[in-house]
A = this chain, B = another copy of it.
């Protein structure tokens, strides 16, 4: 970390895609976490901050997603990988573009794996001053089935963590969606 790096507040924001079908964009809670960071923390002091966007892609369990696993060729695999990459870049582009508009410095990168484990690992590696996570704000009953990345990171990430709950007027029809 250079001296100039140390002189800004480095905020890591973990972002993911919406789970709503046909909506290939940032999730509602990711956008909420980002907007909160900009409006409440960065404010007009863009030069005092650097935002670090981490997107963790979860590998498909069977590796074939929506195509026929019996007939997947090496070419199919390659296409799949490229498609994932394009989707990840498209997601990060949204946040990077907003940062350019505001004039705040940023970096962004993609990792694969279990989001909660990867986020904590990247915190250890990057040592941000703050980790901002969006959360769907599910009740205890819903949480049992979907788990929550934020609860894990609040406990295990080696930096201060703030969880931004989704606004109730932004909750989709199925609250497990995001």
A residues with a Cβ closer than 8 A to B are 9, 36, 40-41, 43-45, 48, 129-130, 154, 160-165
Contact = CB atoms under 8 A, between A and B. Distances in A.
A83 B45 CA distance: 42
Contacts of A44: 45, 48
A9 B40 contact: yes
Contacts of A36: 160
Q: Main secondary structure on chain A at its contact with chain B?
A: mixed
A11 B2 CA distance: 30
B9 A41 contact: yes
Contact of A43 (B9, B160, B161, B163): B9
B40 A129 contact: yes
A116 B151 CA distance: 19
Contacts of A161: 162-163
A48 B40 CA distance: 9
A160 B163 contact: yes
Contacts of A162: 130, 160-162
A45 B160 CA distance: 21
